[in-house]
Chain A
């Protein structure tokens, strides 16, 4: 569609009669009024009254007529028949359905829709013709109806907004807070693009534990789309990379890295590559980032609830995939905001899910048992002395080891097994069990989970962590979901913090704290998500006067960056610790040589 710039209205005013200023019209000589060409002379309307009076007096002698020129308004028209219109012109008109006119008043008119979800062109679409092509599209609700896309239930309005956001974009980051349905929005957008022939072959990359979840979501939201999981022996995978040329290929990160050559060389570019839990590619020097970024593709979508985990440079790694070159390392926050504004869609539950039950935080600041406190103080004192003795040989690994040691003591006294946290947890779980509700307990360590499992045996706890074979994990979740006797699930952050839907749990306990509150948020949102039937109570255990409290304080001070990049979102996620900050926890200086 050629759309030349529209001339201003000035062009239409030219040559008209309005030249005399306000209240004054100057009439041109020889104007055409109606079909009569009447000879006139230029007159000022202010003088017309007296002249009319005079003319009546002198009518017999000197009749005078004057007219007003009326230039024809001829607006220029631009536009054209659109591609679908050309096709329609060549297609015979179908027979009208029904045949007979329907009597008036026979049918109940449908209620006017409450809301339309518009497809807005991305900012990087600059040609007016292309922008209009988006704006003239029917609203999303109409597209879904016309394409006869059936859904198990009606998506929330904000989810349709997310679909309308993804649909026209070749480069997009969907960074909704966990639990808002990024998976469903992506599947529906992909389904719509596939239905319209824009996407024939898509590759979806996700963490290994989430492959089952994605397959299930595709079965629910896009049952007609063929989904092929890339798995099996090298020969089987090689065959899949080369021959599964229709529908969706589903692969985990490890396989994409391992099969990089096959994935890259597999025929035509993918019409769409989606990267789930995109924080996995934040490390620009990592093999995962390199493998994912090398995939030939025409559309790049990244999904993540935590676009910034440790520093703003995490976004640079993600954008190496989504829109290479858009971000550079060490850019200032305002520049990052400007650069990604149209490429990142971020919503939080507080903003869009006002109907979601509340999330109640109940921070438990606990005093260690005397045995724990004595062990803890001795370990910290000795540990710091040892670190100081290392001098220039001190590395961050040494500091980490001490931190982990101290955090483990905050969980259990290694000598006696005493645990202030466990005492509190047992009391809380009694209450939880009595109410018939289910609880998830998160810990960083599988060893801690083992200890908890032994001491909490009367609650029949289930376990979900790295030592549970992958093939058994789905059945663990199913048992927790369906067995009323299984009220407690012990999970590690690593295995259970992403992708699982556990909205039937009402309580979440963070037995120890992760380095990064964003990961804690991921964990909490396993339960606090769409489908949660009631409030979710989160208990965060923190040993006062210990390393846990110091880490928490430093992280709290750093929540501002996320807020600065993503439009004042208050602490929905936050940063990890830098090396300097980790050393600072023990008042150690970061050695130059390290």
Chain B
């Protein structure tokens, strides 16, 4: 995926993480066609910061884990080129510094309106600050490094928003991560049973 092709696939990558108590952060990456069909899926093993990292990174720990650990790990192994990367995790935006694709933050309008204080509570992220537009029921904000205008944002996402509610694919990723996590737990239980029986 690192090498952009001249014949760009009109696909869009969705990046998110699922936090699981007791396990850590699972990363998930789903590439969709403009019609919303799944083209590629990848997920990570759980990531847990060490105590030392918690102390040293402090409030920047989450942006580090998402933008520098999980995000790159997912994207480096991905095969399909995408027109843009979309995430619902503000802390993922640091990834824009190392990727050539446009990285866009997706926030459902309802949630944003319902929790106006949420943005204020977040640590200010230098990665946010690009153009912003309301598209497909969501606010879309480009990373600070982006040179996209609001008009270009519309044009970029237009093929996708005709069919897909932009916040929806993240639910698919989370459902898949939960399923994978459950499958792992079931397999571990089975192994324990076999070990106990042996």
Binding site for B on A (CB under 8 A): 1, 3, 5-9, 11-13, 16-18, 25, 68-71, 73-82, 84-85, 88-89, 92-94, 96-98, 100-107, 109-113, 116, 118, 128, 131-133, 135-139, 142, 145-146
| A253 → chain B closest CB, angstroms | 39
**Chain A residues, CB < 8 A from B109:** 109, 112
Complex Cα–Cα for A107 and B157 (A): 13
Stretch at the interface among B31-39, B87-95, B96-104, B119-127: B31-39
Q: Is the CB of B133 within 8 A of A104?
A: yes
Among A6, A11, A93: residue with most chain B CB under 10 A: A6
Q: A81-B39, A104-B154, A112-B167 are in contact. Are A136 and B30 (CB under 8 A)?
A: yes
**Chain A residues, CB < 8 A from B187:** 5
Q: Is the CB of A79 within 8 A of B179?
A: no
Complex Cα–Cα for A6 and B36 (A): 27
Q: Is the CB of A112 within 8 A of B108?
A: yes
| A443 → chain B closest CB, angstroms | 52
| A158 → chain B closest CB, angstroms | 20
Taking CB atoms and an 8 Å cut-off, the chain B residues in 16-45 that contact chain A are 23-24, 26-27, 29-31, 33, 35-45
Partner of B180, one of A6, A84, A102, A142: A6
Q: Is the CB of A12 within 8 A of B45?
A: yes
Taking CB atoms and an 8 Å cut-off, the chain B residues in 140-192 that contact chain A are 149-155, 158-159, 161, 163-165, 167-168, 171-172, 175-176, 179-181, 183-184, 187-188
**Chain A residues, CB < 8 A from B168:** 113, 116, 138-139, 142
Whether, in the assembled complex, B110 has its beta carbon less than 8 Å from a beta carbon of chain A, the answer is yes
Complex Cα–Cα for A71 and B170 (A): 30
Q: A-facing mask of B46-57, CB < 8 A → 1, else 0?
A: 111111110110
Complex Cα–Cα for A139 and B45 (A): 26
8 additional A-B residue pairs with CB within 8 Å, beyond A9-B24, A88-B11: A5-B184, A9-B23, A9-B47, A84-B33, A93-B7, A101-B154, A136-B176, A137-B37
Q: Is the CB of A84 within 8 A of B38?
A: yes
**Chain B residues, CB < 8 A from A104:** 133, 149-151, 153-154
Complex Cα–Cα for A39 and B149 (A): 50
Q: A16-B52, A25-B55, A109-B134 are in contact. Are A78 and B43 (CB under 8 A)?
A: yes
Whether, in the assembled complex, B80 has its beta carbon less than 8 Å from a beta carbon of chain A, the answer is yes
Complex Cα–Cα for A3 and B44 (A): 10
**Chain B residues, CB < 8 A from A137:** 37-38, 172
| A284 → chain B closest CB, angstroms | 36
Q: A6-B184, A110-B136 are in contact. Are A85 and B40 (CB under 8 A)?
A: yes
Q: Can you report 20 A-B residue pairs in the complex whose CB atoms are below 8 A from each other?
A: A12-B24, A13-B50, A17-B50, A17-B52, A18-B51, A68-B56, A75-B46, A77-B43, A79-B40, A79-B42, A81-B80, A89-B80, A93-B10, A94-B10, A104-B151, A132-B41, A133-B38, A138-B35, A138-B37, A142-B164
Whether, in the assembled complex, B198 has its beta carbon less than 8 Å from a beta carbon of chain A, the answer is no
| B11 → chain A closest CB, angstroms | 7
| A121 → chain B closest CB, angstroms | 8
Whether, in the assembled complex, B15 has its beta carbon less than 8 Å from a beta carbon of chain A, the answer is no
Complex Cα–Cα for A113 and B138 (A): 11
Closest to A108 in B: B134
Q: Is the CB of B31 within 8 A of A85?
A: yes
| A32 → chain B closest CB, angstroms | 13
Q: Is the CB of B52 within 8 A of A68?
A: yes
Complex Cα–Cα for A116 and B159 (A): 20
**Chain B residues, CB < 8 A from A16:** 50-52
Q: Is the CB of A6 within 8 A of B39?
A: no
Q: Is the CB of A142 within 8 A of B38?
A: no
Partner of A138, one of B36, B52, B73, B135: B36
Among B29, B53, B181, B187: residue with most chain A CB under 10 A: B53
Q: Is the CB of B10 within 8 A of A5?
A: no
Complex Cα–Cα for A104 and B108 (A): 18
Q: Is the CB of A5 within 8 A of B80?
A: no
Complex Cα–Cα for A118 and B176 (A): 12
Task: Number of B interface residues at 8 Å Cβ cutoff, please give it.
Answer: 78
Whether, in the assembled complex, B74 has its beta carbon less than 8 Å from a beta carbon of chain A, the answer is yes
Whether, in the assembled complex, B105 has its beta carbon less than 8 Å from a beta carbon of chain A, the answer is no
Complex Cα–Cα for A68 and B51 (A): 11
Complex Cα–Cα for A137 and B36 (A): 8
Complex Cα–Cα for A77 and B69 (A): 11
Whether, in the assembled complex, B65 has its beta carbon less than 8 Å from a beta carbon of chain A, the answer is yes
**Chain A residues, CB < 8 A from B45:** 6-7, 9, 11-12, 75-78
Q: A70-B53, A112-B109 are in contact. Are A96 and B176 (CB under 8 A)?
A: no
Binding site for A on B (CB under 8 A): 7-11, 23-24, 26-27, 29-31, 33, 35-53, 55-56, 65, 69-70, 73-74, 76-77, 79-80, 108-110, 133-138, 149-155, 158-159, 161, 163-165, 167-168, 171-172, 175-176, 179-181, 183-184, 187-188
**Chain B residues, CB < 8 A from A138:** 35-38, 164, 168, 172
Q: A6-B184, A102-B151, A136-B30 are in contact. Are A112 and B47 (CB under 8 A)?
A: no
Q: Is the CB of B135 within 8 A of A109?
A: yes
Q: Is the CB of A89 within 8 A of B9?
A: yes
| A318 → chain B closest CB, angstroms | 30
Complex Cα–Cα for A88 and B9 (A): 7
Complex Cα–Cα for A9 and B108 (A): 31
Q: Is the CB of B158 within 8 A of A80?
A: no
**Chain A residues, CB < 8 A from B136:** 109-110
Closest to B56 in A: A68
Complex Cα–Cα for A85 and B38 (A): 7
**Chain B residues, CB < 8 A from A76:** 44-45
**Chain B residues, CB < 8 A from A79:** 29, 40-43, 77
Partner of B36, one of A102, A128, A142: A142
Q: Is the CB of A93 within 8 A of B8?
A: yes
Q: Is the CB of A5 within 8 A of B188?
A: yes
Among A74, A79, A89, A96: residue with most chain B CB under 10 A: A79
| A104 → chain B closest CB, angstroms | 3
Among B26, B29, B184: residue with most chain A CB under 10 A: B184
Partner of B179, one of A9, A12, A107, A131: A131
Q: A12-B46, A94-B10, A101-B155 are in contact. Are A75 and B39 (CB under 8 A)?
A: no
| A126 → chain B closest CB, angstroms | 9
**Chain A residues, CB < 8 A from B154:** 101-104, 106-107
Q: Is the CB of B158 within 8 A of A98?
A: yes
Q: Is the CB of A84 within 8 A of B39?
A: yes
| A31 → chain B closest CB, angstroms | 9
Q: Is the CB of B27 within 8 A of A118?
A: no
Closest to A81 in B: B40
Q: Is the CB of A13 within 8 A of B40?
A: no
Closest to B173 in A: A136
| B123 → chain A closest CB, angstroms | 20
**Chain B residues, CB < 8 A from A5:** 183-184, 187-188
**Chain A residues, CB < 8 A from B137:** 109-113
Q: A85-B40, A88-B80, A109-B135 are in contact. Are A135 and B165 (CB under 8 A)?
A: no
| B53 → chain A closest CB, angstroms | 6
Complex Cα–Cα for A137 and B33 (A): 11
